[in-house]
């Protein structure tokens, strides 16, 4: 019988589990994966991976930790959690790309800081300044996302002892 994932293959939770299986064979199948997820049954994991039910927050945290996939938390907050509308989804990326993206955002933060200082200088937000606020907010959200990417990289590396996962 084939061990290829079919229906659940596009599900984030399933993808994270299968990526973890590259480093720990326990995650290759649900029945052994749940031994790393206290309180989660094989049936409930199946329902999460088939999009039949949504996992609760604590299960997301368990999966993110067990699978060494901190980006799973950010994805959940950005897409599933009703309180996470300002969160941005982060993708696992090569360590070098993550560091370059973080380095490249330094100029954006400086530009936003300077623009905010000019806007705040007289204590009044005129019409032209008000039009700038959404763009400044978007720039800061992008800086936040890139910072979260770097934090996820550090979390993964801290658990695995390497940057190449």
Query: Which pLDDT tens digit goes with each residue over 93-150?
Result: 788 999 999 999 999 999 999 999 999 999 899 999 999 999 999 999 889 889 988 9
Task: Cite the DSSP H helix spans in 2-126.
Answer: 12-21, 30-33, 42-49, 57-66, 71-79, 95-104, 106-120
CB 104 within 8 A of CB 142: no
Give 118-155 as a 3 state SS string: HHHCCCCCCHHHHHHHHHHHHHHHHHHHHHHHHHHHHH
pTM of the model: 0.61
Please report, for residues 24, 74, 102, 131, the alpha-carbon distance to residue 29 in angstroms, rounded to integers and kept in the order given: 11, 24, 35, 52
- Mean pLDDT on 17-46: 95
Of all residues in the chain, what percent carry a pLDDT higher than 70? 90
Residue 25 has pLDDT above 90, yes or no: yes
Length of the chain: 165
Residue 79 has pLDDT above 50, yes or no: yes
Q: Is the dihedral of CA 150, 73, 89, 43 positive or negative?
A: positive
Q: 1-13: per-residue pLDDT in tens?
A: 445 556 667 899 9
């Amino acid at each position: 019988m084939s061990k290829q994932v079919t229906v659940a293959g596009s599900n984030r939770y399933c993808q994270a589990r299968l990526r973890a299986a590259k480093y720990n064979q326990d995650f290759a199948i649900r029945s052994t994966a749940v031994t790393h997820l206290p309180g989660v049954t094989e049936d409930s994991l199946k329902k999460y991976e088939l999009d039949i039910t949504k996992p609760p927050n604590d299960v997301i945290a368990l999966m993110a930790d067990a699978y060494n996939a901190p980006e799973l938390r950010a994805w959940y907050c950005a897409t599933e959690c009703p309180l996470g509308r300002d969160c941005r989804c982060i993708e696992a990326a090569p360590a070098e790309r993550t560091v370059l993206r973080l380095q490249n955002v330094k100029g954006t933060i400086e530009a936003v800081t300077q623009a905010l200082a000019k806007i705040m200088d007289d204590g009044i937000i005129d019409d032209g300044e008000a039009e700038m606020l959404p763009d400044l907010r978007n720039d800061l959200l992008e800086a936040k996302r890139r910072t979260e990417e770097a934090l996820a990289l550090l979390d993964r590396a801290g658990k695995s002892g390497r940057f190449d996962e």
